[in-house]
Every structure is written in structure tokens, then in C-alpha cells.
Amino acid sequence: MEYYRRARGGCETGDRAAHLLAILLLDSFHTTGSKEDRALVDHLVFIAVREDASPEEVEDLVSSIRAMRDEVPGTVDLSVGEDFSGRSGGYTHALFARFEDTSGLREYLEHPAHLAVVEKLDATTSGRIVVDYEF
């Protein structure tokens, strides 16, 4: 429940617990079989940058996110950008990442580059929503 409150209102101490829970859940949904039988995994994150975050902090965050595309093995695609539509319900930026399978997402969640981005997110955002799905 704390995770959903945080997604609506802002980042709180429960972020790390939610992050660890996501890793545990991914372990339980691990796909077996040949690589051709595995579903791709999409990871979507909607981010609300704090109003008092400096342009330099935001650019550093966005650059760090973009760098993960080449740093994290198993990443098929990754993009991040600022909303321009005005229809985002207060979320200013979004991240899209695609992985070969749930193992790729798990590796991403545990990767040092991702953990460093999570620290920057905690410092520069007031809230975020994360959605992961297979297709």
C-alpha cells in the first residue's frame, strides 16, 4: 500500500523496499524455455520532477538514464524524455526501456548504474509510477 501512496504523492523511504519487492516478484515470474519462447519485457516509468530542481540536476538525471542503454546488458531499447503534451497528469518526464526477458529487467534493477539513477530520482523527483509487463 505504501508503494501506491508514494506513486500518487511523492518519494518516501519505502522506495528501496518496493524496489526489492519488484526484484523478488520478477524471480517468481522467471520464464523458462528457449530464448525464442520468452516474452519481451517493457519497463515504463513516469516521473514528476520537483519544481525546485535545477535545470542542471534534471539534465544530469536524464543523461544518466540515457547512459544506461549501453551500460546495462540485456537492454534492447531505452529512451527518456520530457512531456510536451500537457496531458501527463503532473508527470514531467517518462522513461521507456525494453528487455529481452524478465532476467534482463532483474539485471537492470540490480545494476550499479540503475541504483545510481534511483538515488538521483529520489533527490530530484516528487513522485513516480512504474509499470512492467511482458508481451
User: What is the dotted CATH code of the domain comprising 2-30+38-134?
Assistant: 3.30.70.100
Say what the pTM is: 0.74
Contact in structure between 67 and 116 (CB atoms under 8 Å):
no
pLDDT tens profile 2-53 = 333 344 344 444 555 556 555 545 554 544 455 556 689 999 999 999 999 9
Domain boundaries defined on the chain: 2-30+38-134
Residue 10 Rama label (left phi>0; alpha psi -120 to 50; beta) = left
Contact in structure between 97 and 77 (CB atoms under 8 Å):
yes
* E strand map for 16-134: 41-49, 75-82, 93-99, 125-134
